[in-house]
Amino acid sequence: MVKCYSCGKESRGGMPTANIGGEERTYCADCYWVIEKEYKGKRNCEECSYFSNEKCEKKGKPLEPVTVGYNTYFVQAEKCGDFSTDKDVAVAEIKKLEAKGQYEEAVTGYEKWGMTEEAEEARKKMPAPSIDANALVKNLVKKGQTLTYYCCHCGTQLKIGAKAPQIQKTCPSCSGDLQVINLAKLVKQHSAQE
């Protein structure tokens, strides 16, 4: 038997749940409807200019979510003296994030305010994910594939993969430095064409 947290009504079937104050609670349909209506009506931190990724940027603290069914509410805004929906304040905070190199948070902030051009500019500043060339070569070896490429100095044909599992640092023909070739990008492009 499942018991309603609020009214004590029991049921043999499942009841909807809500996570309030870090505690998972079960409610009958009537009580659940009342709870959901109560939280939908409260001021939510997500509407505040200082909200970013479940955190208050003004106070620098994570916020505690209240989950009612599929909806999440951050109702600390009800008692917060810093609550603000001022776009200028929000944009200033977002620019601070961008200046600190927190581009992902800045993009989220710009998108929240409908500033798509600014979001795209911040997205361009995000560092490209690093690619491990050795891992990509191991993948070629595992698949039994060999990739042919050419020395950027003399044009000698070079191979990497199943027939040549080691990454060459210099050209065997002209002794030119092959580290200028971005092998990770080359192997990744080859893998994407399959």
Express each pLDDT in 44-69 by its tens digit: 888 887 787 788 878 888 888 888 88
Give me the pLDDT at residue 89, please. Answer: 82
Partners of residue 27 on adjacent β-strands: none
Work out the angle at residue 186's Cα, subtended by the Cα atoms of residues 182 and 188, and round it to the nearest 5 degrees.
115
CA within 13 Å, CB half, 60: 1
Q: Quick: pLDDT tens for 165-185.
A: 888 888 899 888 877 676 666
Tokens for 194, please give them: 């399959």
Distance from C-alpha of 116 to C-alpha of 163, rounded to nearest angstrom: 47
Q: How confident is the model at residue 130 (pLDDT cuts 50, 70, 90)?
A: low
pLDDT in tens, 18-41: 998 889 999 998 999 998 888 887
Order of strands across the sheet with 17-20?
23-26, 17-20, 66-68, 71-73
Q: Please, which residues have CB within 8 angstroms of residue 37's CB and are 6 or more apart in sequence?
A: none
Q: What is the mean pLDDT of the chain?
A: 84
